[in-house]
Structure 1
Amino acid sequence: MPVSHTHPGPEAARLNKVMGQAGLCSRREADALIAAGLVSIEGETVTDAGRKIEPGQTLTLSEAASEALSEGVTIMIHKPVGLVSGQPEPGKIPAVRLLTAENRIGDGPVPAADASLPPIGRLDEDSRGLLLLSSDGVVAKAVIGPTSELDKEYRIRVAGELTDRALKMLRHGLMLDGRVLKRAEIVQLDKDRLKVVLREGRNRQIRRMCEMVGLRVTDLKRVRIGPLQMADLPEGKWRHLTPDERAALLAHRSAG
């Protein structure tokens, strides 16, 4: 599926630079795709990597370019509590251990035991829900790159009094590590449950935010990353990301 990106400006820039900054690919990959005639600006095929794109113009990666960039593997896991996202310390169990044929939902090969599949946006050991493991650098940039604006949605349960003041502070007004947090969407679902949507990912951010307003998180579950919904994927199970889901991630990476 072709992938498009509109250059936001504020001034003209080299095509390969814009492709890299947008998280579509690395600059080296951009140069190769452009040289192969797989990139266009406003419908015109471009073969010069130094070509500049003006603010408001749209570049498009052809379907062949998208296929060339999607050789990596991306896995969606419903991580249970008790497993760690990445490389474990002694005595800890990594989520990658779940990648067996017995736990697979749908088609696709089971990754090799020694496959490099780093987490794309971690979940703490005591949290559960949607976790992505990927060897696809383009997907990684789309989800956690410096220009990514993908939001992440959580369902949490808390202990403590959910006052109007606490909810207001959670939405906006807190600082972590000396920096003001971006505005969060906080919706009270019942007396002790909240829907939380974040556009950033500080270390243990939700738990620390709640502690600052006198609440303690007793359950934290991630249910969505950008356009990707965990939906009915059972706990402890995994599946491959589909080409359409990958394309949706790239399309939404800076949708705001």
Structure 2
Amino acid sequence: MTQPTRLAKYLGHAGICSRRQASRLIDSGDVTVNGRPANHIDHVNEQDCIMVMGKPVLGPAKKVLYAYHKPIGVDCKLNQNDPSSLIHHLPTGTRTYPIGRLDKDSRGLLLLTNDGELCQRLIHPDHHVEKEYWVTVDGSLDDKFCQKMASGIVVDGQLTLPCKVSLLSDTQFKIVLKQGLNRQIRKMAKYCGYRVVDLHRVRIASFNLPNTLLESHYHLITPAALKLD
């Protein structure tokens, strides 16, 4: 018998979701331990009966990682009752979930996994993992715009971290972020007087979206492809 582990961490190791997502499931009452509603201080092991949204947690699963080319119109919230939800597009077999999100109106690289530790490593702000986007807006851009975006913009009362911004064309720019505030790029561009008409994520860490990976398709990769420190 293994030593008891905090519930959110146990769910991550079991491939159910990330620790952050596990906390949300616990808060919403979707997790039970031995027949009672779970709480955040529960410590569990394989001897406990743990249910998530009515389904049993069977213990640690083989870790997998997929690159997925998300199209516009797919919502990264895992809602079984929403026809546009990513849950209907996940790989079959081992249960996976997205590492971070792309909003419904955005497209490009999304990572899918059941590895809670890897997810935590990629999304936690302390690790400063780069994410690169190519963004098209509804007006002409110049170097002044890039400098303003790169130095930091107030988004929802918070100054964004310095980032890398460069022009790709008169109406398109490249931005590399190390944080992921809600709809951050769209709000930054709006602050500067532009509306985003296309947002395409092309890289996470050192892994670039392959040209051969068509929209709505996914394939297995290894964590080594991310080249994390």
Change over 3 Å in CA distance of 1:146–1:70 after alignment to 2: farther
Judge conservation of contact 1:99–1:111 (CA < 8 Å) in 2: no
The match for 2:159 among 166, 169, 180 is 180
Distance 2:116 2:151 in 1: 32
1:140 aligns with 2:122: no
1:167: which partner in 2?
146
The 5 Å alignment of 1:99-110 reads 99=90, 110=92
How far residue 90 of structure 1 moved from its aligned partner, in angstroms, is: 4.7
Q: Cα deviation per residue 1:191-245 (whole Å; 9 max; x = unaligned)?
A: 1111111010000000000000011110001010001111221111101122532
Q: Which letter does structure 2 place at the counterpart of 1:242? A: T
Aligned to 2:88, the other structure's residue is in SS state helix
Query: TM-score scaled by structure 1?
Result: 0.61
Aligned-pair identity in percent equals 34
Instruction: Give the aligned residue type for 1:208.
Output: K
Unaligned runs of at least 5 residues, structure 1: 1-24, 30-68, 101-109, 252-256
Matched, 1:235 2:187: no
Q: Residue 214 of structure 2 aligns to which amino acid in structure 1?
A: P
Structure 2 residue identity aligned to 1:216: R
User: SS at the partner of 1:72?
Assistant: coil
What's the counterpart of residue 79 of structure 2?
Answer: 88
- State the 1:163 CA deviation: 3.6
User: Residues 171 and 70 from structure 1, CA distance in 2 versus in 1: closer, same or farther, beyond 3 angstroms?
Assistant: farther
Amino acid of the structure 1 residue aligned with 2:72: V
Flag the structure with larger Rg.
Answer: 1
1:99 Cα offset (Å): 3.7
Given that 1:72 and 1:137 are in contact with CA atoms closer than 8 Å, whether structure 2 keeps it comes out as no
Native 8 Å contact 1:141 1:148 kept in 2: no
| Residues 29-62 of structure 1 deviation map (CA, whole Å, 9 limit, x = unaligned) | 9xxxxxxxxxxxxxxxxxxxxxxxxxxxxxxxxx
CA distance in 2, matches of 1:214, 1:234: 33
Alignment of 1:79 with 2:67, yes or no, is no
Contact 2:70 2:216 in 1 (8 A): yes
Q: Deviation at 1:181?
A: 1.0
- 3-state SS, counterpart of residue 167 of structure 1: helix
User: Aligned-pair RMSD on alpha carbons?
Assistant: 2.4
1:15-39: CA deviations, max 9, x gaps? xxxxxxxxxx99xx9xxxxxxxxxx
Give the 3 Å change call, closer, same or farther, for CA 181–173 of structure 1 in structure 2: same
2:108 equivalent among 129, 136, 142: 129
Secondary structure of 1:220's partner?
strand
Q: Is residue 2:209 matched to residue 1:218?
A: no
3-state SS, counterpart of residue 66 of structure 2 = strand
Rounded Cα–Cα distance in structure 1 between residues aligned with 2:89 and 2:181: 26
